[in-house]
Amino acid sequence: GFATRAATRTLATLGDQMAKLYLAPPDPWPVYRAIRDRGPVYRSRMGYTAVSSHELCARVLRGPGFGVRDSAGRLTEEQMIPVGSVPSLLELDPPDHGKLRRLVAPAFRPKLINEYRPRIEETTGRLLDKIDGPFDLMSDFATPLPITVISELLGIPEDSRARFADYGKLAGQALDGQLTARQQVDLEKAIAALNDLFSELMAQRRVDPGNDVISVLVQAVDGDKITADELLSTCQLLLIAGFETTVNLIGNAVFHLGRNPAQWALLRERPELAAGAVEETLRYEPPVPITGRVSQTEVELAGERLPADTPVLTMLATANRDSSVYPEPDRFDITREGGPEHFAFSSGVHYCLGAQLARIEGEIALRALAERFPDLRPVGTPVLRPSASIRGFVRFPVEVGVR
Ligand code: HEM
């Protein structure tokens, strides 16, 4: 960030809402609301400007005048992903972004992703078969499911998945800015090990291609359309995306269904509402609550002039509860219909590439939980992830009742 932790604390005591948010309060919603209530464009002394309405988030995310790089083409610190040797998709603006995205997108086309449905169902079943009493939703189910799915999608052999998991965990902590010097060294080692693993896999898929994402990408490398480094940074991004987000979609869904027993009862009676429950969770408590862009020229937002190179945070979570587009926005309703698409997957050119995969995983997971464990309920207090940038739990004990 722009301020040290001590400076952030001082700003927070002076009432700077963004500083409060960066200290990762257990419930960020009062802060989100305070930012929203201070007007359409909130200026923090931390050096950020924030927008919270659906309209302004759309405007900033879709451009024109905004991107992930400033007017000199520099990446803002906030936008940097702490891994990878060349910029990943999330670190590129058009036209470079489009060139890479067009090459990666075929690996995520709906038809291909839909073909993974039976395998996701199988993985879900296998994980839930092991459960016969109280369990931790995060470590026993919500985490291993997406990790297995992304590993299968990338074609990571089973005996290499442990390497893969270590890396994902460290990369996640790096995102939260929580790495000790020792862990930083471990992360670098893990990245090197991962590079080797992906290089091995690329060589192998070149001679023996399969249906997996790496095989699709290797063909693009061979056509000289993408470099090996770009492929690597793409795989790393997919890995982080696969580790850090769907996990929390599942956790956040069960949390809000637990707090709204009538909604859980509805899902139990009509498991086909699982897709609706996923959509409502994404709107109500998005795993990625905030993203950001930077102005690349002087721009006007809601009557305010922002000079070029102003970092603007788009408060996705708050825009998802904008009462001008969602009636009764603070009500969690899995049968909700109408209204524009929420911003859980962002908007514009960086719209989440894995959105369809995440939706399918979430739907299968929630449906299976509701069908197998109709008496599922939280026990004790779940432990929140201490992060301003990811919304979810690290621990979430649940009980399943008698089967
Ligand atoms: C981009 C959220 C799952 C791959 C994004 C962005 C968001 C997001 C908010 C855009 C950030 C920005 O505009 O600055 C989520 C959520 C997920 C999820 C909430 C689960 C519930 C996944 C999965 C994958 C994935 C499962 C792939 C396996 C990507 C990629 C991008 C992206 C590659 C970058 C796209 C680009 O820059 O063109 N995601 N994501 N995501 N996501 Fe996801």
Atom of ligand 1 nearest to the CA of 146: 26
d(CA 321, CA 318): 5
Choose among 278, 360, 356: nearest CA to 107.
Answer: 356
pLDDT of residue 225: 77
Atom of ligand 1 nearest to the CA of 346: 9
d(CA 312, CA 47): 9
- Kindly report the pTM of this predicted structure: 0.94
Residues with Cβ within 8 Å of 294's Cβ and at least 6 positions away in sequence, in order, are 66, 67, 68, 69, 70, 76, 79, 309, 310, 311, 312
Atom of ligand 1 nearest to the CA of 249: 21
pLDDT of residue 142: 96
Peptide bond into 397 cis (omega under 30): no
Residues with Cβ within 8 Å of 361's Cβ and at least 6 positions away in sequence, in order, are 120, 145, 146, 149, 246, 249, 250
Closest Cα to atom 15, ligand 1: which residue? Answer: 345
d(CA 105, CA 308): 31
d(CA 68, CA 60): 11
SS3 assignment, position 311: strand
Instruction: Tell how far the Cα of 33 is from the centroid of ligand 1, in angstroms.
Output: 25
Strand 311-315 versus strand 49-51 pairing type: parallel
Peptide bond into 64 cis (omega under 30): yes
344 lines ligand 1 (CB under 6 A): yes
d(CA 342, CA 279): 8
Ligand 1 pocket test target in 113, 150, 152, 245 with most atoms within 8 Å of CB:
245
d(CA 18, CA 389): 12
Q: Which residue has the tokens 């001679």?
A: 207
d(CA 277, CA 294): 33
List the chain pLDDT tens, one digit each, 403 residues: 446 788 889 999 999 999 999 888 889 999 999 999 999 999 998 888 999 999 999 999 998 999 999 999 998 766 665 555 688 899 999 999 999 999 889 888 888 899 999 999 999 999 999 999 999 999 999 999 998 999 888 888 888 887 777 777 777 777 676 677 887 888 788 778 888 888 889 889 999 998 888 888 888 777 777 787 888 888 888 888 877 899 999 999 999 999 999 999 999 999 999 999 999 999 999 999 999 999 999 999 999 999 999 999 999 999 999 999 999 999 999 999 989 999 999 999 999 999 999 999 999 999 999 999 999 999 989 999 888 889 999 999 999 975 4
CB atoms within 10 A of CB 50: 28
CB atoms within 10 A of CB 168: 25
pLDDT of residue 368: 98
d(CA 285, CA 259): 13
Residue 22 tokens read as 């960066």
pLDDT of residue 80: 60
CB atoms within 10 A of CB 65: 17
d(CA 71, CA 9): 30
The DSSP result for 148-216, as a single string, is HHHHHHHT--GGGHHHHHHHHHHHHHHHTT---HHHHHHHHHHHHHHHHHHHHHHHHHHHS--SSHHHH
66 lines ligand 1 (CB under 6 A): no
CB atoms within 10 A of CB 341: 13
79 lines ligand 1 (CB under 6 A): no
Q: CA dist 36 to 15, 56, 265, Å?
A: 14, 11, 33
353 lines ligand 1 (CB under 6 A): yes
